[in-house]
């Protein structure tokens, strides 16, 4: 693989008809973090799980931030395009279709940026506790891509207005967005797993 490579794990598909998943961890996670979640929400899917290449106090992230909730947007753009190149290379290497991103927190934010900057890289996305990644995003054409956005009602990091703005932004770009606000904080709950599993089952059934 080229310069755009990331330290990553790849688990081949064990069943037909399940879409490949791109697993994108939160701050301080790594390539092993979301493998269990991926297996829970879509048993049988191929799993591609990269580790973020930016370190913040030793903790891996997918892009730099200036403060909590304040992103280095130039870095967001650069890192999203790097991730897009990695996906292209990985698809060739492992023979998989465009994946559905499953991102948590920082991973969900880079997935949202990827949807806006390089829409062809992903077949859809599950965005868990995502924020608007760019204050001045390009005009993207998402052509009906399915997106599930799960927000926490008591999330101390992501204001409700921000996640609502992200849902509107993706909808305006042509995505089919399902946005649900759960009685949760920033951490994931069992409801996230159940909703994500049902949603992915519906997406796979539509594609079949």
The Cα 208–Cα 203 span in angstroms is 9
d(CA 141, CA 61): 27
Cα angle value 72/4/77 (rounded, 5°) = 25
Q: What amino acid positions are annotated as catalytic residues?
A: 105, 155, 186
Rounded-to-integer distance, Cα 37 and Cα 122, Å:
19
Q: By C-alpha distance, which of 105, 92, 91 is closest to 22?
A: 91
Length of the chain: 208
Put residue 97 in one of left, alpha, beta given phi > 0 → left and psi -120 to 50 → alpha.
beta
């Amino acid at each position: 693989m080229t310069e755009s490579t990331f330290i990553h794990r790849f688990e081949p598909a064990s069943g037909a008809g399940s879409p490949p998943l791109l697993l994108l961890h939160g701050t301080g996670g790594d390539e092993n973090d979301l493998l269990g979640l991926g297996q829970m929400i879509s048993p049988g899917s191929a799993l591609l799980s990269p580790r973020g290449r930016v370190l913040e106090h030793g903790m891996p992230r997918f892009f730099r931030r200036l403060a909590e909730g304040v992103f280095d947007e130039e870095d967001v753009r650069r890192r999203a395009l790097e991730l897009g190149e990695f996906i292209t290379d990985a698809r060739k290497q492992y023979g998989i279709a465009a994946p559905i991103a499953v991102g948590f927190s920082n991973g969900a934010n880079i997935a949202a940026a990827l949807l806006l900057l390089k829409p062809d890289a992903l077949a859809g996305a599950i965005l868990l506790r995502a924020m608007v990644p760019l204050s001045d995003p390009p005009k993207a054409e998402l052509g009906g891509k399915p997106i599930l956005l799960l927000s926490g009602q008591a999330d101390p990091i992501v204001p409700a207005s921000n996640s609502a703005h992200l849902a509107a932004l993706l909808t305006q770009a042509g995505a089919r967005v399902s946005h649900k606000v759960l009685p949760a904080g920033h951490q994931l709950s069992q409801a996230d797993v159940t909703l994500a599993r049902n949603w992915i089952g519906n997406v796979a059934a539509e594609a079949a």
